Amino acid sequence: MSYIPHTEVERQQMLAAIGVTTIEDLFEAVPASHRFPKLDLPPAMSEMEIAAEMQALAEANEHGGDFAMFRGAGAYHHFIPSVVNHILLRGEFYTAYTPYQPEVSQGTLQSVYEYQSMMCALTGMDAANASHYDGATSLAEAVTMALQVTRGKRDKIILSHAIHPQYREVVRTYHQGRDIRIVGDEGTANANALIDMIDDSTAMVAVGYPNFFGQIEDFSALADAVHAKGAVLVMVVNPMMLALYKSPGELGADIVVGEGQALGIPLSYGGPYLGFFATRTQYVRKIAGRIIGETVDMDGKRAYVMTLRPREQDIRREKASSNICTNQGLMALAASVYLALMGRNGLRKVAELNYHKAHYAADQIDRIDGYKVQRNLPFFNEFIVKCLKPVEEINTALLDEGIIGGYDLGQDYPHLKDHMLLAVTEVNTRSEIDTLVEVLKRLS
Amino acid sequence: MVMIAENEPVVLEPLIYDLSVPGRVGVNLPDSDVPETALPSELLRDDLRLPEVSELQVVRHFLNLSQLNHAIDKGFYPLGSCTMKYNPKINEDMARLPGFALQHPLADEGGSQGALALMHQLQEWLAEISGFEAVSLAPAAGAQGEFAGILMIRNYHLDRGDTARKIILVPNSAHGTNPATVTMAGFDAVELPSDDKGDVDLDALKQVCAEKGDQIAGMMITVPSTLGLFEEHILEVVEIVQGVGGLMYMDGANMNALMGQVKPGELGFDVMHYNLHKTFSTPHGGGGPGSGPVGVGDKLKPYLPGPIVHIVEEATDEEPPLYGLMMPEKSIGRLKAFHGNFGMHVRAYAYIRAYGADGLRDVSRHAVLNANYVRAQLIDTYRIPYPRYCGHEFVLEGRVEGVDDIHALDISKRLMDYGIHPPTNYFPLIVREALLIEPTETETKETLDGFIDAMKKIAEEARTQPELLHEAPHSAPVKRLDEVRAAKELVLCCKPALSDAGD
């Protein structure tokens, strides 16, 4: 019976102790008319059979193990050191639950505290929470916080069009029940053009760093304009880039959110990922979700505990600002282990490899007649290529050569028809890049 | 020799930052195989405060930390409302198959047929298990599933021009997520009392429906309730609320009691969420990731959060079906980027495969058997409210007759000394000194007997040596914590100085 340990003898002993004759007797409160329905599911399988069936399903995918991957657009194929997976597979971590009982959860609590510390270091913020579901929901929660910080008196949320299209969709899903205006992404306004939209009703302005197109915009004028109006500046960031580039804190961000998948978490067809959320000290008490703080036990031993609990749904109920409880704890652990292994020098080296390889690829592509890399703004590891042919056609040809090509930007941005978003990371070898360039050349 | 400075607290394991020595790296990285491009110096930082440690230091650090946790793999974890059942190892292996783990979420649908087939199958199985028309796997956790469900109810009413419905009814035994969800979706939560049997107070329900029927958008209810009780009048509750035009939301957190016993869709529910990390054995991970698919009946099917997987071309004799992603016609929208916590879908698929129909029915049968067994064995030692059989969990009052100052918290902490994770304490809020106990079906009778013995011994200790309980735990890595200090001083991250840069 798979994972159920009971023998018939034990079942009988237990039923006798309860004082019933069959297990079915315990379901007497279920309306008899609806009790014990038929379940139309396939019969049980042995472990061997399950593995064989699922292996076949897995192999039906075209994935980063078999193909050279140049697709990013919010999810990146990076190298993950072996240690990360070994730690994640420790049953002490992955079969524990939320650390409600801190005395027997110090492992989880301290590792999340270290995660918070390292995310603060990356973002240049003062505090980070224990995680959200992903980058998109972190941004949605930032909207809630910005509305609270501006005391519910402001109703305008400005989103750059150059934030991930799916993130902007999620913001709209989250806030459809609220009386607020979400604007800014109707056209193609860049960071400086967003300034004109800021007024006294503006609660927050959100921009991407890098933006969805991989570009690094200049936010100096925007940050001043946002703060002059008493609004909140939110940056949606790629944490890998922060190993190299100025921190959002230095650039004037008040809230930093983003997708932590690049930090040791596999692509896994879109999840589970890691939404991170960091902010400045003055807003700490408005953060949604769990936060770990340091304290001591009765003997003065250093220890960690979930703190600022009265903000949360299980205590505050209908007055809580978010219903989040389970978050992405194990993914935060993955990021902790990854960041600890990489450390200051390793992460910088990985980021530099991304930078050099992406720029090498861009330079090679620029030499092909008919292809043009957009270079009006600096980029990190992802860039726009204007193509000679429809992206779909190019990607079909690339697939034949064992390459998963870039993301078709025309899907989300009509003015970018025939534009491809290419991501190049440390895992892409020179020969993969050269093959990519060869195929593009053939299609020119 | 370990040097401990005066006033410095003793530490169990140093922070990773405290192990740092400038120049160390924990991973061996390749050099660049392409010509280098000049870095844009004006855009760069020089203040990256990350630790510098070796690979072995990292391994030891996290292994040492892991030893400070209680976990299902170590011992009994009867944490009520969380369903801490065994997390099968094969599930982990399956989620790590390269074809799943290295699949890009924006890969072409034609190249994602394995992942899409798995998701489609899981949608179908979950719909069958709960008697619903359709399922979306998009929600990342139970709370997000709840949010999706309430948004669907909202948009259903709005689409019909029914704009006055602002109220969602929530019993006072509900999980805190329920009222928080209601507020997030822009509704007002109206709390319903429970009767002395632990069920929804039918008179109160009838009254509010009579008075405010045209303002009621729906009701959220957990079945079995958070008291572990199967609502005896569930059909009547559904009928009353739907009778005034409201929709019924079932919080599926306690689905572990119901598989093969009753289908919520057949009871008349319009929508419910599943917790794959409870019922379907995906690991809790120290606080996630979870996965909270939603199932719906006919009315709400067009509103499901997307994307969902559908069949683009039916199977032929030679070819399997062609699967694709789609947004339902009137979808409430996207809840997260991409398609839900796919890694959890893989694990849940492996789990359902391992049991099949009869096995899943047995899961719920044994979950309920285990809970009732423990309940029956403790009924003479502790006060257990509501004299009736329980579902997969039950609540007892964490106090001992004749001893005034023993609380649920003391009993919880003392259980740690017996190697057992405490039950959920002080929830549900409507039971005094509540201890919510959920053994799950994967525990042996010996484990349950060990727990029963421990609970009896603790009751005895409460009478003879109450200080043992007040000061518990004695054998955990730390004693009770100064939580007030944590909230007051708010040390939320360590701020390491840069070791070799001028800061």
B298 within a domain of the structure (yes/no): yes
CA gap A438, A408 in Å, rounded:
19
What is the CATH code of the structural domain delimited by A82-338? 3.40.640.10
* CB-based contact A83 B26, cutoff 8 Å: yes
Residues with Cβ within 8 Å of residue B67, at least 6 apart in sequence: A92, A107
> Could you give the percent of chain B with pLDDT greater than 70?
97
Q: What is the pLDDT of residues A197-252, one digit of tens each?
A: 999 999 999 999 999 999 999 999 999 999 999 999 999 999 999 999 999 999 99
- Local confidence band at A1 (pLDDT 50, 70, 90 cut-offs): low
pLDDT recorded at residue B375: 98
- pLDDT of residue A180 exceeding 70: yes
Task: Please tell me if residue A18 touches chain B, with a CB cutoff of 8 Å.
Answer: yes
Domain count, chain B: 1
- Local confidence band at B497 (pLDDT 50, 70, 90 cut-offs): low
Q: Which pairs with CB-CB distance under 8 Å and at least 24 residues apart come from A413-420? A: A413/A161, A413/A165, A413/A188, A415/A188, A416/A384, A418/A386, A418/A387, A418/A388, A418/A389, A418/A390, A418/A391, A419/A384, A419/A385, A419/A386, A419/A387, A419/A391, A420/A384, A420/A385, A420/A387, A420/A391, A420/A394
pLDDT recorded at residue A318: 82
CATH of the domain at B314: 3.40.640.10
Which pair of tokens denotes residue A212? 């969805």
Of A152 and B284, the structure prediction assigns the larger pLDDT to B284
If you average pLDDT over residues B113-122, what whole number do you get?
A: 98
- Measured between beta carbons, the chain A residues lying within 8 angstroms of B13 are 110
pLDDT recorded at residue B502: 33
Task: Please tell me if residue A239 touches chain B, with a CB cutoff of 8 Å.
Answer: no
Q: Which of residues 183-202 of A touch B (CB under 8 A)?
A: none
pLDDT recorded at residue B205: 98
> For chain A, what is the mean pLDDT?
96
If you average pLDDT over residues B173-179, what whole number do you get?
A: 91
In this complex, which of A114, A133, A426 lies closest to B16 when CB atoms are compared?
A114
DSSP label of A205:
E
Tell me phi and psi for residue A25, to 5 degrees: -60, -25
CA gap A366, B123 in Å, rounded:
45
Q: What is the pLDDT of residues B50-100, one digit of tens each?
A: 999 999 999 999 999 999 999 999 999 999 999 999 999 999 999 999 999
Q: Widest CA span of chain B, in angstroms?
A: 80
CA gap B192, B225 in Å, rounded:
13
- Measured between beta carbons, the chain A residues lying within 8 angstroms of B479 are 103, 297-299, 301
Q: What is the pLDDT of residues B190-229, one digit of tens each?
A: 999 999 999 999 999 999 999 999 999 999 999 999 999 9
pLDDT recorded at residue B5: 52
Secondary structure of B57-108 in the HEC alphabet? HHHHHHHHHHCCECCCCCCCCCECCCCCCCCCHHHHHHHCCHHHHCCCCCCC
Residues with Cβ within 8 Å of residue A27, at least 6 apart in sequence: A35, A36, B230, B261, B262, B368
Residues with Cβ within 8 Å of residue B196, at least 6 apart in sequence: none
- Local confidence band at B330 (pLDDT 50, 70, 90 cut-offs): very high
Exposed/middle/buried for residue B284 (C-beta within 10 Å: 0-12, 13-18, 19+):
buried
> Could you give the percent of chain A with pLDDT greater than 90?
94
Q: What is the pLDDT of residues A330-377, one digit of tens each?
A: 999 999 999 999 999 999 999 999 999 999 999 999 999 999 999 999
Q: How far is A219 from chain B (nearest CA, A)?
A: 12
- Measured between beta carbons, the chain A residues lying within 8 angstroms of B184 are 174, 177, 322-323
- pLDDT of residue B503 exceeding 70: no
B25-41 burial code (b ≥16 CB/10 A, e <16): bbbebeebebeebeeee
- Block residue for tokens 């093959």: A435
- Local confidence band at A2 (pLDDT 50, 70, 90 cut-offs): confident
Tell me phi and psi for residue B438, to 5 degrees: -130, 105
Q: What is the pLDDT of residues B416-428, one digit of tens each?
A: 999 999 999 999 9
Alpha carbon distances (Å) from B326 to A72, A165, B241, B330: 21, 16, 32, 11
* CB-based contact A87 B59, cutoff 8 Å: yes
In this complex, which of B48, B94, B389 lies closest to A121 when CB atoms are compared?
B48
Full residue range of the structural domain in which residue B303 is found: 90-354
Residues with Cβ within 8 Å of residue A12, at least 6 apart in sequence: none
B316 within a domain of the structure (yes/no): yes
Domain ranges of chain A: 68-80+343-442, 82-338
- pLDDT of residue A255 exceeding 80: yes
* CB-based contact B481 A103, cutoff 8 Å: yes
Exposed/middle/buried for residue B245 (C-beta within 10 Å: 0-12, 13-18, 19+):
middle
CA gap B281, B275 in Å, rounded:
9
Task: Please tell me if residue A355 touches chain B, with a CB cutoff of 8 Å.
Answer: yes
Q: Which of residues 364-393 of A touch B (CB under 8 A)?
A: 378
Give the 3-state secondary structure of residue B260: coil
DSSP string, A250-294: TTT-SEEEEE-TTTT---GGG-S--EEEEE-GGGGGG--S-EEEE
- Smallest CA-to-CA distance from A116 within A256, A236, A253 is with A256
Pick the CATH number of A68-80+343-442 from 3.90.1150.10, 3.90.76.10, 3.30.930.10, 3.30.420.40: 3.90.1150.10
CA gap A276, A115 in Å, rounded:
10
B300 within a domain of the structure (yes/no): yes
Q: What is the pLDDT of residues B430-468, one digit of tens each?
A: 999 999 999 999 999 999 999 999 999 999 999 999 999
- Block residue for tokens 């009701």: B219
**A-B contacts (CB, under 8 Å):** 711
Q: What is the pLDDT of residues A16-73, one digit of tens each?
A: 999 999 999 999 999 999 999 999 999 999 999 999 999 999 999 999 999 999 999 9
